[in-house]
Each structure stands twice: as structure tokens, then as C-alpha cells.
């Protein structure tokens, strides 16, 4: 590529498949890959992404507004998505 791709729809695919031209994953991204694979597998098996050995992924509720941030190297629950992404603009 002659330009940086940034964050784009489908960028997570490099965490599952060999994507031609993709930059190799850094060690912290490889750790995130292992955790994401565990989440997806566990969710497909049980309907919940949580399993022993992965950070707890809390259920989203309108009251808590907590979501799982999938930033390398370790996913963690966080809040503030709507404010950070200026979602209130859609209410005006």
C-alpha cells in the first residue's frame, strides 16, 4: 500500500486470516489476537465470551454503558464511548 489504512471496516480480519499486504502483528497485537480468538470461540460455544484465562467482558447495559475495549495488548471494560465519538450529534 502506498498510504496508511488506519482503522477501516474489516481491519479485524488480519487477526483471523493471512491478509495479503497486511503489516505483521506486533507482540502486543498477537496477545490481543489470542484473547479475541478465545472470546469468539467461547461465544460461539456458550453465548458468552467469558472464559477462564481472559479478561471479563461485562454485559452492556444502558445504566452502566460499559463496553469492552479491544485495544492491545489486553482488552478491558471501559465507558465513555458516546462522548469520545460525539454520538450526541445524532440526537440533534
C-alpha cell at 75: 482488552
Q: How far apart are CA 43 and CA 37, in angstroms?
A: 10
The pLDDT tens digits for 83-92 are: 887 888 888 8
pTM of the model: 0.73
**Tens-place pLDDT, residues 34-57:** 998 999 999 999 999 999 999 999
Q: How far is CA 15 from CA 18, 38, 63, 83, 84, in A?
A: 8, 12, 32, 28, 25
| Each residue's pLDDT tens digit, 3-30 | 666 667 777 777 777 778 877 889 998 9
Amino acid at each position: 500500500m502506498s498510504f496508511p489504512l488506519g482503522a477501516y471496516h474489516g481491519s479485524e480480519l488480519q487477526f483471523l486470516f493471512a491478509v495479503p499486504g497486511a503489516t505483521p502483528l506486533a507482540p502486543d497485537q498477537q496477545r490481543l489476537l489470542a484473547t479475541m480468538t478465545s472470546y469468539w470461540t467461547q461465544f460461539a460455544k456458550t453465548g458468552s465470551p467469558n472464559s477462564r484465562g481472559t479478561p471479563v467482558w461485562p454485559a452492556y447495559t444502558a445504566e452502566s454503558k460499559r463496553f469492552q475495549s479491544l485495544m492491545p495488548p489486553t482488552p478491558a471494560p471501559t465507558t465513555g464511548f458516546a462522548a469520545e465519538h460525539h454520538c450526541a450529534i445524532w440526537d440533534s
